[in-house]
Structures are given as structure tokens and as C-alpha cells.
Amino acid sequence: MTTADLTLTKEHAANLFRRKRLIGFSIPAVIAVYFIYIFFAFDLPGLAQRASLEKAVTLFSDSWSHKVHVTRNNRTGEIDYAVEGERKGRYPEGERPDWVTGDEIITIDLGADHIVRYLPNNRTEVEIPGFPMIEVQAEGRSLTTNLPADLPDWISASKRRIGITTPEGRITLTGARTEVFNYFPGWELFWFTLDSPYHGHGVTEILFGEQLDPSRSNVAGAVTDWWNNKMWRHRDVAWAIGETILMAFLGTMGAAMLALPLAFVAAKRFSPIMVVRAATRRVFDFVRGVDALIWTVVLARAFGPGPLTGALAILITDTGTFGKIFSEALENVDQKQIEGVTSTGAKPLQRYRFGVIPQVVPVLLAQILYFLESNTRSATIIGAITGGGIGLMLTQAIQTQKDWEEVAYYIVLVIAMVMFMDWFSGWLRAKLIGRKD
Amino acid sequence: MLDATLGGSTPITVDSIQSSYTAQVKRRRLYGGLTLLIFVLLMVSGFNVADDRNAGGFWDGLHQIGDYPADVLSEAWEKRAELPGLVAKYFPALVETINIAAVSTLIGALGGLFLSLLGTRGLAKWPRLIPLFRRISDIMRAVPEIVIALMLIFVMGGGPVPAMIAIAIHTAGALGKMFSEVAENADLKPVEGLASTGATWSQRMLLGVLPQVAPNYVSYSLLRFEVNIRASAILGFVGAGGLGYELRNAMAWGPGRFDEAAAIFILLFGTIVFFDQISSHYRNRLTEGQGQ
């Protein structure tokens, strides 16, 4: 190698390095500039103001706790005890939580010396440590109190409404009603609602204890009452999860069955006519490009909301995806095996069955099972749009903006469902085509 | 003697081979037939259940499939003069949808990168925490985007950011798994070489592993970008801004405004096809030299 050559190569190498360095620095720079643009395009400064920390706190505390309402109707003087203030969670006549005592004067012990007393004639006393006793008299639609003008920030008071928030519980008073919310950790009534004879009994008591309901055996009765729990709706939830999985299953398998013959038409090896091939491919591209969202919208017009619509939306979209993948797999099959089958005098259909299918089945199965798992997740989202399955229950629970413990329950179930399908499809794949490295 | 044994035993062996072979074939056919039967049963009963629980039946709805697209198309065709204007009107929404997908893919790829490096044997900074990072990436992958998006919409109000965060979390989990499959096959020699010079963990990853895995990582990220465009359109439909949000509004107006829905359909379809083509072109280029 001459010196001239060497300098030339050196210069060449230096150029290469310079270019690489330029690329190495410019890519992060471009990304940084893009993020700055996004920062303003998505209005992040404005978002910081709009986001409400209070809502986030409610969301998180409600998702793992529940509250029991003690409500006095100031017109009739009646007192109601209900979990989450819902009719389904109301204590039966004559029963009440054990932190409420007294007949004439109802004493509610919120814990840590926070005490609320419902006195006759719509009077209320609130005792909070480190604060003078609060007395409130409800008359018609207005309230008279002994509250000072200068209030701490955990009390809000007007002539019509007083709200007191303490770490132990919340108290709201209006002319019409006086309400105390006592917070507890855990998901109350998850197993049995208050009207079930099994509420408040442990597992061992139900399994081995004496018969609690004379008309039913313990286990059968407990299972029925749990299954039909009105608060948590275990039966509906189970159906919803079944529907979601069903959508994914029907959609994926239906798509695979439709796509397989079409893939033969689209593969160069098996379909000699160019026009037919190209047309099939464009069909695949089209149904894939239209996307599940639009298919869902269009199909919901024809079939109405429900799991079938979701299944068909998945089916149509994935027919395109599978068609593309399958036809690529078919292009790559080994010709020798087909020739071998042909040499035995096999007809075209038999050639496909014994020469081609065994070669592509592992690839196809792996793809189908992968999509089954991924479609379970899509089915949750499609269900939220088209109205079926766990996705719908989840969006409905979120839209009420108060049943966060139910939202938390559904989220746990959805994650468990997806992880189960992930595990199941992996297990099935290992069973059917063997573990591959 | 020898002959006799051979002659005596060979026919039996052939017979037994043949009979055991036919038995095996029969058994396999039986199992195959049973599997097929169960599968068909599942499909048929599943279809019936889904059909029952649907608001409208399959057979009633089948001939109506074309009605809605036909309405939309005919109305859009009548007002075809306005279509370019509408496309221009919804273009900003389209840009927002693409931005959501792009940002969440970038953030998700970065998150997936860390999850994969920390969760791969031989590369992890803290080998004991490998299962932890794997579980984290499993859970992030399992959470459907809509769950996080809806909760964030409640806290932050509607807009692109909840969708972006939701998709980014899912992307990080999904890419974390794919990335770590690639990283497992990475050659460890450069890493060892760098370690011998006293390179820190981040230097070893940046200089030893990333150059090996970059083409695959970029290819997977591009694939994810395609998926995320669709996801971002869908999330818009539940209130997270962008084209999906406009589509829901346009649909809510019903007949008379179908031209708007048509414009959005066209934009969405065009975008998805466009980015699919671009991304598959670059993915092919990136993975071209892989086989050798």
C-alpha cells in the first residue's frame, strides 16, 4: 500500500467517523427538539393547573377503602346506616354498626376521640380533639351554629351547608339531612351483602360450623349468596370476562380460518395469476388499514352493541394481518417436501394438505396464539366502545367517578385475565409445537 | 439356528411394527379428530353465546353491514366539493394522534430499553432483581391502555397527555419483553472486553450491547409505532383527544354530518396505510443483513 493510498484511506475513515459522530449527536438533538415541541403542543404547563391532586387522592384512597354512611333525615328524623350510602349496602331494619350507640341520643364514635352526636330536634354535636365542641341546629333549610368566623381549612361552612373533614371521617350537614361518613380499609361486602345470613361469618364457620340458614346447606347457600352479591356483582363480572375472552377467541380463530385459504391465493408459489394475487393483497391491506376502531363503529351500526360486534371487528381486522403473515410464511415453504408428495401421485389438495400445511403449521400456530393473547387486551378496549365485556363494566364504573373500589377490582381482574391468557397461550404453544429456543 | 431365529422373528417384528404403526396413526387421528371436534364445538357454542348476548342478531344484521358505509359514502360523495376543506379542518387532530403515538413510542422504547437491559441475564446491573424487572414489564404489558387512560382522564381532564402516558406504559412493557429476547442473544464478548478496561455498567451497555441490538430495537420500535397509531386513535374515542375524539363527535351528529365522518375515516385510513408502508420499508432495510 502506498502512502497516497494510506492518506486517502485515512481521510475516508476520518470522514466516516465525522459523519457517524454527526448522526450520533443529531439524533438525540432532534428528539430533544421534538420533545420541546410536544411540551407546548400538548399544553403541559396548562395541564399542571388542570390536573387535580385532590381527585387523585380520592381515587387512590377510595380504591382500597370503603365508607359507611350514617344519615339522619332531618324531616322525618329517620336514621339510615348504609355501606357506601347505597341501597344495596343498607343495614337491615334494627341493625347498625357497633360504633353507633344510644337510642334517644345517637352517638357515633369515629375513632381517636372524634365523636358525633345526633340529638333530638335536629341538633348535632361534633366533638373533635383540640377544637371547641361544634353545635349545629338545623331549621328548615338553614343551619345555626356556634362556629367562629375564623375557620380552619378542614371546615367549610355557609348558612346552608357545613362540611367537616377529619382524618377519621367526614361530616356534612344541611338543612335536610345530617350525614357522617366513617372510613375503613378494605372492600366491604365483597363476599356477602348485609342481608345474607352468611355476612360476618368466617370461612371455617361456614364450612364446619352449624347451619346458618335452615333452608340451605352452608356451602351451597354461601356460594349462591356470594355469586349473586348485589354490591359487587360477581356473576355479571364473570360473564363479562367470559365475553371478553370469547370476543378474542372467536375473532382470532375466525380470522385464522378465513385467512388461511386467502393466504394461498395471495402467495406467489400457489397462485399463478398476478391480478388475483395483487387483489387479495390489497384486500388484506385494506381491512388492516381500516383498523378495528372503524370496523367496530361500522359493525355496531349493523349488529348493535355486544360481544358479537367486537368479535367480528377483531375477525375482520385480523384477517388482514393473518393473511399477510400467512402468505409470507407460505412463500417460504420448502419445495422439496411438496415435490415428494407430488411424486406419490397426490392431487393438488392433497399436496397442500401433506406437503405444505405441516411445514407452516408451527409458524401459523405461534402467530395465532400470540394474537389470541394480544386480542384479549384489544377486546377489553373494543368492549368499552361497542358495549360488551369487562371493558364496558370498567368504563361504566370509571364514569360514575365514585366506585373506585370496583374500578380497582376490575383492573385487578383485567390484568389477571391478560396474564392468564399470556401464560395459557405460551403453554398451549409449548404443548402443540414444542418449546423452541 | 441363527437363520431359524431370524426367519422366525422377522415376520413377527414387521407385523408388530405395522400394527403398532397403524395403532399410532389411529390414535393420532382420534386425538386430532377429538381436538377438531372440541374446537368446532367451542366455536359454534361461542358464536351462539355471543349472538345471544348481542343487541342485534348476526343473521338480522348481516345484510345491514353495508348500510352505514353506503350512507356515509353517498353523503360524502354528494358533498365531495367540501371534502378537501374538511380534511384540512381535521388535519390538526390527525397531527395530534400521530404525536401521541410518536411520543409514547419514544418514551416507551426508552423505558423498554432499561427494562430489557435490567431484566436480561448476563447484562443486568443487579442480577438479583431480574425477576422484579421482568414482573414489572409483564404487568405494564398486561394493563390495557384504556384502563390507565380513563383514570388519568378523570384526574387530569381530557386531552392528549393521558393517552400518551397510557400508551407509553404499555409500550414500555411490550417492548421490554421483545427487547430482552434480542438482548439475550447478544454477544457478551464486547461487554467482557469493556468490563476489563474498567467501564461502568452504562458504558458497557452503551458501547457493548446497544450497537449489537440497535437494528432490532429500532425495527421493533417502528412496529410498535404502527400499533400505537391505531391505539391512539382508539383512545381518542374514549375522550383522549385527537382524531378518535373528533370521530366520536362526528358520529354523534348522525346523518347530515356524515361528510365529516367520511373525512375522518379517510384521514385515519390514509395515515395508517402510509405509516405501515414507511415502517415496513425501513424495517426490511434494518433486518436485511440479519440472516448472515
B132-153 pLDDT, tens per residue? 999 899 888 888 888 888 888 8
- Asked if residue A324 is part of any domain, the answer here is yes
- Dump pLDDT digits (tens) for B182-224: 888 888 899 899 989 988 988 888 888 888 888 889 989 998 9
Residue range(s) defining the domain that contains residue B282: 71-290
- Determine which of B67, B147, B248 to mutate to test the interface with A (most A C-beta atoms within 10 Å): B147
Please identify among residues 186-225 of chain B the ones whose CB lies closer than 8 Å to any CB of chain A. Answer: none
Is B271:B98 a contact under the CB 8 Å cutoff? yes
| Contact check, Cβ <8 Å, B147/A394 | yes
Let me know whether A181 and A247 are in one domain: no
* A106 — pLDDT class (breaks 50, 70, 90): confident
Let me know whether B226 and B136 are in one domain: yes
DSSP states of chain B:
-HHHHHHHHHHHHHHHHHHHHHHHHHHHHHHHHHHHHHHHHHHHHHHHHHHHHSSS-HHHHHTTTTHHHHHHHHHHHHTGGGHHHHHHHHHHHHHHHHHHHHHHHHHHHHHHHHHHHHTSTTT-SSGGGHHHHHHHHHHHHHS-HHHHHHHHHHHH-SSHHHHHHHHHHHHHHHHHHHHHHHHHTS-SHHHHHHHHTT--HHHIIIIIIHHHHHHHHHHHHHHHHHHHHHHHHHHIIIII-SHHHHHHHHHHH-TT-HHHHHHHHHHHHHHHHHHHHHHHHHHHHHTGGG--
- Dump pLDDT digits (tens) for A227-270: 777 777 888 888 889 989 999 999 999 999 999 889 988 888 77
- Dump pLDDT digits (tens) for A124-147: 777 777 777 777 777 777 777 777
ipTM score over 0.90, yes or no:
no
Let me know whether B130 and B274 are in one domain: yes
- In total, how many domains does chain B have? 2
- Dump pLDDT digits (tens) for A139-184: 777 777 777 777 777 777 777 777 777 777 777 877 777 777 777 7
Closest chain B residue by Cα to residue A50: B156
Q: Which residue has the cell 443487579?
A: B126
Residues on chain A touching B43 (C-beta within 8 angstroms):
250, 253-254
Let me know whether B77 and B49 are in one domain: no
Let me know whether A163 and A252 are in one domain: no
DSSP state of A91: P
- Asked if residue B66 is part of any domain, the answer here is no
Let me know whether B16 and B153 are in one domain: no
- In total, how many domains does chain A have? 2
Residues on chain B touching A401 (C-beta within 8 angstroms):
154
Q: What is the pLDDT of residue A133?
A: 73
User: How is chain A split among helix, strand and coil, in percent rounded to 5?
Assistant: 60, 15, 25
What contacts A102, CB < 8 A, 6 or more positions away?
A: A117
| Contact check, Cβ <8 Å, B268/A294 | yes
Q: Measure Cα distances from A26 to B107, B213, B282 in Å.
A: 18, 20, 19
Let me know whether B57 and B117 are in one domain: no
- Residue that is last in its domain, among A152, A185, A218: A185
Q: Which residue has the cell 436480561?
A: B120
Let me know whether A376 and A255 are in one domain: yes
B265 touching A, CB under 8 A?
A: yes
Let me know whether A264 and A404 are in one domain: yes
Let me know whether A242 and A119 are in one domain: no
Let me know whether B57 and B76 are in one domain: no
**Burial per residue of B118-137, b for 16 or more beta-carbon CB atoms within 10 angstroms, e otherwise:** bbbeebbeeeeebeebbebb
Q: How far is CA B265 from the centre of its chain?
A: 22
Let me know whether B268 and B185 are in one domain: yes
| Contact check, Cβ <8 Å, B43/A253 | yes
Residue range(s) defining the domain that contains residue A130: 67-185
Q: Read off the C-alpha cell for B273.
A: 396505510
Q: Where is pLDDT greater, at B6 or A353?
A: A353
Let me know whether A130 and A249 are in one domain: no
Closest partner CB to A311 (pick from B39, B50, B234): B50
What contacts B68, CB < 8 A, 6 or more positions away?
A: A298, A301, A302
Residue A180: its H or E element? strand A177-185
